[in-house]
Amino acid sequence: GDSVTQMEGPVTLSEEAFLTINCTYTATGYPSLFWYVQYPGEGLQLLLKATKADDKGSNKGFEATYRKETTSFHLEKGSVQVSDSAVYFCALDAGGTSYGKLTFGQGTILTVHP
Amino acid sequence: GAGVSQSPSNKVTEKGKDVELRCDPISGHTALYWYRQSLGQGLEFLIYFQGNSAPDKSGLPSDRFSAERTGGSVSTLTIQRTQQEDSAVYLCASRFQGGGVHNEQFFGPGTRLTVL
């Protein structure tokens, strides 16, 4: 079945450090890929998405590129801020009859210190 | 405009009791999803409604779980004879489905269920 694997956390960084959170997936066909973020005390929000191979999703300084050859969708940010502290989830939508149904990774807790 | 709302925000119940969790999707969103977020299992899909079609129940963990969606809008997730392993945050999401574009799912704040 479809699955998403994220790097284990938690991740602790100093402000302005470079961030990478790894995400790999297993799916048949051509899934769409997403990163969701959950800030403390808030609900899940879509951070960025990519719907086909080689697409780059970007938002709020975060980027992720859909790499079909390595089945990966790693999240990166060049300079993190304290306000980026949150839980980050990688997810996929396998499409077809599963259209819209999301399969999530385990989540990665990010803490950024001043 | 209003987002996805869920009620109650917190529910504490005793093992063996039934509970009902409610979701009000964004107006006009035809697709509605329930997910469960728990420490041991992460975020799991439970059930999916699309318009008047039969729901996709493939994620429901047992026959104690059921859900309905009345009038294509409000949805209720029912858990019968609750068990301690049902303790989790139950998330609802809705999405406008159409236009050939992969549209965003909007999530509600969740209902935190604690089974004692």
Report pLDDT digits (tens) over A29-66: 889 999 999 998 888 999 999 999 999 999 999 999 99
B107 vs A: CB within 8 A: yes
Contact across the interface for B33 and A45, Cβ inside 8 Å: no
Residues of A in contact with B35 (CB under 8 A): 102, 104
d(CA A73, CA A57): 10
Q: What is the pLDDT of residue A104?
A: 94
With an 8 Å Cβ cutoff, are B33 and A32 in contact? no
Half-sphere exposure of A22 (CA within 13 A, CB side): 7
Interface touch A101/B45, C-beta < 8 Å: yes
B25 touches chain A (CB under 8 A): no
Quote the percentage of chain A above a pLDDT of 70.
98
Query: Which residues of chain A make contact with B44, given a CB cutoff of 8 A?
Result: 104
> HEC profile for A3-68?
EEEECCCCEEEECCCCEEECEEEECCCCCEEEEEEECCCCCEEEEEEECCCCCEEEECCEEEECEC
Residue A8: pLDDT band (50, 70, 90) is: confident
Give the pLDDT score at A71: 96
